[in-house]
Structure 1
Amino acid sequence: MTSPYQVFVTALPDVCPTAPHRMVFTADADGRCEVFAWDGAAGRARQVTDSPGGTFHRAIDAAGHVWWFEEDPAGRGRWWFQHFDGGPRLPGLPGAPLGQPRGLAVTADGVTAAAFRQGRETSVLVGRRGRVPREVVRTGRACRLGGISADGALIALASSADDVDAVTVHTRDGRLVAELPGAGRPGGRLWCQGFSPRPGHTELLLVRDLGDRYAPATWAPDSGLRTHSWCTFDTEITARWCPESRTVLVRQDRHGRSLLHRVDLDARRRTVVPTPVGSLLDAAPRSGGAVDCLWTDTAHPPVLRRTPGTVDPSSPADAGPLLLPPSGPSTVVPGRHTDRWTPVGPGRVHSLLSLPQAEGDAPPPAVFLVHGGPADHDRDAYDATVHSLVASGYAVVRVNYRGSTGYGPHWRRDFTAGVGHTQVEDLTAVRADLVSAGLIAGDACALWGVSWGAYLVLLALGTRPGLWQAGVAVKPVADWVAAHRATTPALRALDVKLFGGGPDEVPERYAASSPITYAAKVSAPLLVVGAAHDDKCPPGQIRAYLDALAAAGVPHDALWLDTGHDGYDGAAHVAVLRRALGFLRDRLPDPAHRAIGRPPAPTGGLRSR
């Protein structure tokens, strides 16, 4: 891999509400993720940020100012802004204390709201661009900014979808207006999707879990909370307001791929927006009925696509400004990419299978890439690790085990065998199915995961030691008790939900699901990667696990990164990829005779817990 690291775009550009040709996006800058301003009419880009660790959070307001969040390795920092055309960089909210970003919103007339996590608390500041703000809300709950109404009068705060008050609505001076319940209702869970962008409208868009399906919901000061149960979906959805009507664009995750729907709340009508088979990493409605989306599948990196609006699709006016600078020729991932459904206790587990081009009859060695979350799923989407592995001659298996999203509420809630153990059961079942079918080599199977996926790697190696010949665990949970005590408030709340209590209340459940309990039983060579500033999967509990491996004489390697859990500098990502590929080459049968092309330069980011 001699090519430089490049970061690909994983979200659509943010568009200036008053000047749609002015956009801001994140992209590669010498191997780091940085913020760029893009003039789609002139076809001109300008790099806005240049941070040693990269920059990810960005926005553009109606006055044409680019915002970005400048943070330290622990994720703490402040918002800055600069005019779209350049000029001095200025503090967005002067005097605001250091914190971790939990959302920014700016109205058309410049009212600015920003949420920050500071220690165990979340605070919301309100002010105007470049002026000292005032704190209007402070809470001990882990929250994010859910949006600000078009007139700046109301602010939504979103906490866990399971909370009794999953969404709260406040006035601009902090007075509580509404508490919208999540847990405690049938189905319970509630997600905030933002206020209507139309002037004069204060309607808040939400998604409701009905127990076995999902539906859009709305809240308004005069009508309260309303669930649109005439329009339900069998798997997870996200939603966005359309800019010119009471219509919603719904993106549905279903069986590892994406579907797009336009929902007219007044007419009670739902229509499918045609899109190619694959995954939509992002989708946004534009004026005139057009839809922009970021499409990908396993074989192709993300590309921007636009569906036509209500006017002549051949008209230059309908095409609008060029979304992003044109990219070079698209890479195509070699090999054959298909699906596999494997029977398990409650149904069938879905896997995405990528096979190298065979040169002979022997099945290839296989790497199981284990996704994080657990409330996430592997998509039919480009993944540089998949590309590198398949090009090197390995089969790649991505399993959407029980607990994954995209397969309905019942699948997502199924932890029948216990936290982690249910997921390991599914990984084991898929491995047995693929080996039995002669698709992968039974004596050459490795596991590779990040965050929660890395946790499952460690648990599988310790509880099914004879099945796996190598493991790569990047930023794992290795000791649930120690991780729980040192992690973020949001993840502590997730732990309590998963285990049915804290470690002092149900210690036996934490012990039964902790990889450190089984460290002495690991027999496969193992590479563990930790991050020195990781607050989600803290370094202390990883070091304790490594000590347990050493005490038991288990062969292992360790790599430490000077980053937090999420990183925007490609150097750390490529270091992990190179180290892991070398580690696997030394410990699995040589797949070189199957390689059909040099592995690509890695692109994209690591998964999160």
Structure 2
Amino acid sequence: MTESNGSDAPDRADHQTERVEQGAGMPDWEKRFRAPRVSLPDWAEDAPDRSLFVSNATGTYELYAWDRATGEQRQVTDRPNGTTDGMLSPDGEWIWWFDDKDGDEFGVWRRQRFSGGEDELAAPGLDPSYPAGLALGRDGRTAVVGRSTDEDGTTIHLARTGEAPVELYRHRESAGVGDLSHDGSLIAVEHTEHGDAMHSALRVMRPDGTTVAELDDTRGGTEELGLEVLGFAPVEGDTRLLIGHQRRGRWEPLVWDVATGEETDLALDLPGDVSAEWYPDGTGLLIAHGFEARGELFRYDLTERRLEEIPTPRGAVSGATARPDGSVEYLWSSAAQPPAVRSTAGGVVLDPPGMKSPGSVPVEDVWVEGPGGRIHALVQKPAGATGPLPTVFDIHGGPTWHDSDSFAAGPAAWVDHGYAVVRVNYRGSTGYGRAWTDALKHRVGLIELEDIAAVRAWAITSGLADPARLILTGGSWGGYLTLLGLGTQPDAWAMGIAAVPVADYVTAYHDEMEALKAMDRTLLGGTPEEVPERFEASSPITYVDQVKAPVYISAGVNDPRCPIQQIENYVKRLESRNAVHEVYRYDAGHGSLVVDERIKQIRLELDFASRHLPA
């Protein structure tokens, strides 16, 4: 066994030198990580020239302020482990950002003037917690702050500058702040008081905590339907709330007038999941449609009830926002082309200086018949290569997430080294309807692995994959499925590479953040004490003695989602068998926001594969 504590991570000054040299002599896979990139800019509702975005320009993902009128950009945060959780106040005066400790996601909100200056505690009187949503008022002094702790469950507070925070909501089950209305008179909350953490109900309250309206599609039955808050209408005195629902088996938007109870169902004729946000004048909706791993945009006119397509290239739209002039800015990429913030007004909106990311190869769509229906997989392989190839099954996290035709530096690195990469949108993934997402309950992990096994069989029979050189890998839930797959399918895989995984489900449950405990109770139907047989059947440590393949594990020592102790329990079992394995621990939480650290992790994974995969 080999272990490392991460003390040899490159210095940030070395990284700056490499950027100046613009990647001279650097392999393409590393350039994809180092090349500066930016998020979709958020803009202030009442000061639209003021924007906030995230960038890795310094080698660590941090928040940046951007004054569009002057073109000035300014780095707002500067922390060793990075910062991505921030919000711009509607008046454009303040930037709120979440301050945790070394990636543990437990901390407090701080704020800084848009023009710069010292940080200050944003909501004095609120103790550190896990964040559970945030909404900022247009008056510049009001905030609705959601908090989650192991002791209190979820609490929601009204915080006003110069006043003590007032508790509006408290419940043991998970909940979160949805939105604050344009005039500050209404607060929307998503909650799971019914006990199903996968399907929220909605409550709208006044700032004094009294209830205005409720909407609950869960109905307490066997078929739970979820709701989500998409935002209040951006118009003074308007009581319309845009929400998402699953009443027809997929996510769709509707407009709910919380004052009258009237619901305006859009009934859009689009086959996949649909989300939406308001145009700034409240007369239309920006529709985001995701279907079969790709995205597209539309404008919906609420008066004429007409849908109009907004042309975008084929690929993935990771976010979009409508500007006051009617243009739409969106973050687009494909597996072959790096991300860019584009505008319907023409051109790239925000193009960071410095080294440009190389592209990669496009994905091929594959559909495989599985035990629960057709499974969609995305395949990449080196240009011109013919099989059978060493093949990496790169399994996404979540589980309520999905792989898409978007740019991803990790899979591209494997392709550069001669591997085919297969990504599987197994049952539990989003984007293929509610039944597909909800299918993994109670037989957690085992259902997903049935789908992965079906795609594995296709990869071999199609001639793509060499059955003796198959790697199972993933991060978070993908790391969990990797360890579970190595134990339950020991002859199927030549190697496993698991990043920040669940390894011992019972210990993970007791040590993880409260919101994830609620999710696990939903997925497995109870606590480890209530349904011990389900936790045992779904836990990788149950099958650790059956693992035959070499195992590589990386973990953040401050991770609140997949805590370190449960990984140590699994590693000790590997050690007791003298199983071939290596462990890399690093000083961060659930993954890293530091580019050097991420590159190091990929380099270690590639090296492990080169040493242990059969020639």
* Distance in 1 between residues matched to 2:244 and 2:269, nearest whole Å: 10
- The amino acid that maps onto 2:175 is C
Tell me the SS of whatever aligns to 1:32.
Answer: coil
Tell me the SS of whatever aligns to 1:432.
Answer: helix
In the alignment, structure 1 residue 339 sits paired with structure 2 residue 365: yes
Q: Is the 8 A contact 1:116 1:124 kept in 2?
A: yes
Aligned match for 2:99, one of 70, 80, 89 = 70
1:116 aligned partner: 147
- The amino acid that maps onto 1:243 is P
Q: Is the 8 A contact 1:366 1:444 kept in 2?
A: yes
Aligned match for 2:340, one of 303, 327, 332 = 303
2:378 aligned partner: 352
In the alignment, structure 1 residue 39 sits paired with structure 2 residue 67: yes
Tell me the SS of whatever aligns to 1:565.
Answer: coil
Q: Is the 8 A contact 1:108 1:150 kept in 2?
A: yes
In the alignment, structure 1 residue 158 sits paired with structure 2 residue 190: yes
Tell me the SS of whatever aligns to 1:300.
Answer: coil
- The amino acid that maps onto 1:66 is I
* Distance in 2 between residues matched to 1:229 and 1:39, nearest whole Å: 36
Of the structure 1 ranges 79-88 and 274-283, higher mean CA displacement relative to structure 2 is found in 79-88
Tell me the SS of whatever aligns to 2:465.
Answer: coil
Q: Could you list the per-position Cα deviations for residues 239-274 of structure 1 after superposition, in whole angstroms to 9, with x for gaps in the alignment?
A: 211111242222122111112232333433223222
Of the structure 1 ranges 248-257 and 289-298, higher mean CA displacement relative to structure 2 is found in 248-257
Q: How does 1:369-408 map to 2 (within 5 A)?
A: 369-408=394-433
Q: Could you list the per-position Cα deviations for residues 573-596 of structure 1 after superposition, in whole angstroms to 9, with x for gaps in the alignment?
A: 223212111111112256xxxxxx
1:600 aligned partner: none
Tell me the SS of whatever aligns to 1:442.
Answer: strand
Q: Is the 8 A contact 2:154 2:174 kept in 1?
A: yes
1:606 aligned partner: none
TM-score, normalised relative to structure 1: 0.89
* Distance in 2 between residues matched to 1:452 and 1:130, nearest whole Å: 42
Q: Structure 1 residue 499: deviation in Å?
A: 2.0
Compared CA separation, residues 256 and 504, structure 1 to 2 (3 A): same
Q: How does 1:245-324 map to 2 (within 5 A)?
A: 245-308=282-345, 323-324=349-350
Q: Structure 1 residue 496: deviation in Å?
A: 2.2
Compared CA separation, residues 357 and 552, structure 1 to 2 (3 A): same
1:595 aligned partner: none
* Distance in 2 between residues matched to 1:326 and 1:534, nearest whole Å: 31
Q: Is the 8 A contact 2:61 2:82 kept in 1?
A: yes
Q: How does 1:175-190 map to 2 (within 5 A)?
A: 175-184=210-219, 188-190=225-227
Q: Structure 1 residue 332: deviation in Å?
A: 3.7
Q: Is the 8 A contact 1:202 1:221 kept in 2?
A: yes
* Distance in 2 between residues matched to 1:26 and 1:14, nearest whole Å: 10
Of the structure 1 ranges 454-463 and 559-568, higher mean CA displacement relative to structure 2 is found in 559-568
Q: Structure 1 residue 408: deviation in Å?
A: 1.4
Compared CA separation, residues 104 and 8, structure 1 to 2 (3 A): farther
Compared CA separation, residues 229 and 496, structure 1 to 2 (3 A): farther
Q: Is the 8 A contact 1:93 1:131 kept in 2?
A: no
Q: Is the 8 A contact 1:149 1:195 kept in 2?
A: yes
Q: How does 1:554-565 map to 2 (within 5 A)?
A: 554-565=579-590
Aligned residues: CA RMSD? 2.5
Q: Is the 8 A contact 1:165 1:179 kept in 2?
A: no
In the alignment, structure 1 residue 171 sits paired with structure 2 residue 197: no
Q: How does 1:502-513 map to 2 (within 5 A)?
A: 502-513=527-538
Q: Unaligned 5+ residue runs, structure 2?
A: 1-25
Compared CA separation, residues 506 and 70, structure 1 to 2 (3 A): closer
Q: How does 1:530-541 map to 2 (within 5 A)?
A: 530-541=555-566
Q: Is the 8 A contact 1:90 1:130 kept in 2?
A: no
- The amino acid that maps onto 1:38 is W
2:23 aligned partner: none
- The amino acid that maps onto 1:343 is E
Of the structure 1 ranges 539-548 and 563-572, higher mean CA displacement relative to structure 2 is found in 563-572
* Distance in 2 between residues matched to 1:346 and 1:100, nearest whole Å: 36
* Distance in 2 between residues matched to 1:7 and 1:175, nearest whole Å: 50
- The amino acid that maps onto 1:271 is E
- The amino acid that maps onto 1:152 is G
Q: Is the 8 A contact 2:251 2:275 kept in 1?
A: no
Q: Is the 8 A contact 2:341 2:351 kept in 1?
A: no
* Distance in 2 between residues matched to 1:7 and 1:105, nearest whole Å: 32
2:489 aligned partner: 464
Q: How does 1:163-242 map to 2 (within 5 A)?
A: 166-184=201-219, 188-224=225-261, 226=263, 228=265, 230-231=267-268, 233-242=270-279
Q: Structure 1 residue 369: deviation in Å?
A: 0.5
- The amino acid that maps onto 1:167 is L
Percent sequence identity over matched residues?
Answer: 37
* Distance in 2 between residues matched to 1:27 and 1:230, nearest whole Å: 37
* Distance in 2 between residues matched to 1:559 and 1:227, nearest whole Å: 52
Q: Could you list the per-position Cα deviations for residues 52-77 of structure 1 after superposition, in whole angstroms to 9, with x for gaps in the alignment?
A: 22111112221432222222122222
Q: Is the 8 A contact 2:202 2:214 kept in 1?
A: yes
Tell me the SS of whatever aligns to 1:216.
Answer: strand
Compared CA separation, residues 557 and 461, structure 1 to 2 (3 A): same
Q: Structure 1 residue 132: deviation in Å?
A: 4.7
Tell me the SS of whatever aligns to 1:441.
Answer: strand
Aligned match for 1:569, one of 586, 594, 601 = 594
* Distance in 1 between residues matched to 2:83 and 2:228, nearest whole Å: 27
Compared CA separation, residues 505 and 139, structure 1 to 2 (3 A): closer
Q: Is the 8 A contact 2:99 2:107 kept in 1?
A: yes
* Distance in 1 between residues matched to 2:247 and 2:114, nearest whole Å: 43
Q: Structure 1 residue 304: deviation in Å?
A: 0.9
Compared CA separation, residues 297 and 546, structure 1 to 2 (3 A): same
Compared CA separation, residues 381 and 336, structure 1 to 2 (3 A): closer
Q: Is the 8 A contact 1:158 1:166 kept in 2?
A: yes
* Distance in 1 between residues matched to 2:143 and 2:449, nearest whole Å: 46
In the alignment, structure 1 residue 529 sits paired with structure 2 residue 554: yes
- The amino acid that maps onto 2:126 is A
- The amino acid that maps onto 2:557 is A
Tell me the SS of whatever aligns to 1:301.
Answer: coil
Q: Structure 1 residue 297: deviation in Å?
A: 0.6
Instruction: Give the total of aligned pairs.
Output: 578
Q: Structure 1 residue 415: deviation in Å?
A: 3.2
Q: Is the 8 A contact 1:279 1:379 kept in 2?
A: yes
Q: Structure 1 residue 293: deviation in Å?
A: 0.5
In the alignment, structure 1 residue 106 sits paired with structure 2 residue 136: yes
Q: Unaligned 5+ residue runs, structure 1?
A: 314-318, 591-609
Of the structure 1 ranges 366-375 and 243-252, higher mean CA displacement relative to structure 2 is found in 243-252
Q: Structure 1 residue 563: deviation in Å?
A: 1.6
Compared CA separation, residues 497 and 56, structure 1 to 2 (3 A): same
Q: Could you list the per-position Cα deviations for residues 221-248 of structure 1 after superposition, in whole angstroms to 9, with x for gaps in the alignment?
A: 3222626163364432322111112422
Q: How does 1:127-146 map to 2 (within 5 A)?
A: 127-129=159-161, 132-146=164-178
2:17 aligned partner: none
